[in-house]
Amino acid sequence: MRTTKNLLKGLFLFFLLSIIITGCSSDDNSSNSRKVTFKVVGSNGANITTIVYALNSETFPVLNVNSSNWTSEEITLPADVNILSLSGNAIGSSASSSIRLEILVNGQVKKQQSASGTVMSTFTQYTIN
């Protein structure tokens, strides 16, 4: 159990560093209204523990989720936001347990990433043109 917690902590720190490195610039001056929703969908037997989503380099951690599914509130993006990131950690009851991350912009899935196993951690990022 201690190894699992250490692994999840390490992956969480890796995610935060990747957000800081990739989210330092934004040149999107679009005036179009863009709405984003972040989702983490788990299979039966998956327990989501931690989620972090980010708008450019501003991170929003969601701790102690303890659920098989999670959806953020719909967020209206400021014009200067052009990088969306999502990370999820989960514990599975078997090797076939899985989670899927989804980034939706204006209701359409723009990016998704999956992981499976008994200890799951995955990351995805979408850049708005």
129 residues of the chain, pLDDT tens digit each = 566 666 555 555 555 445 544 444 444 444 568 999 999 999 999 999 999 999 999 999 999 999 999 999 999 999 999 999 999 999 999 999 999 999 999 999 999 999 999 999 999 999 998
The domain spans of the chain are 2-127
Q: What is the pTM of this model?
A: 0.77
Of 112, 114, 115, 116, nearest in space to 125 by CA: 112
Is residue 101 within 8 A of residue 112, CB to CB? The reply is: yes
Residue pair 2/37 in contact by the 8 Å Cβ criterion = no
Domain range 2-127, CATH class: mainly beta
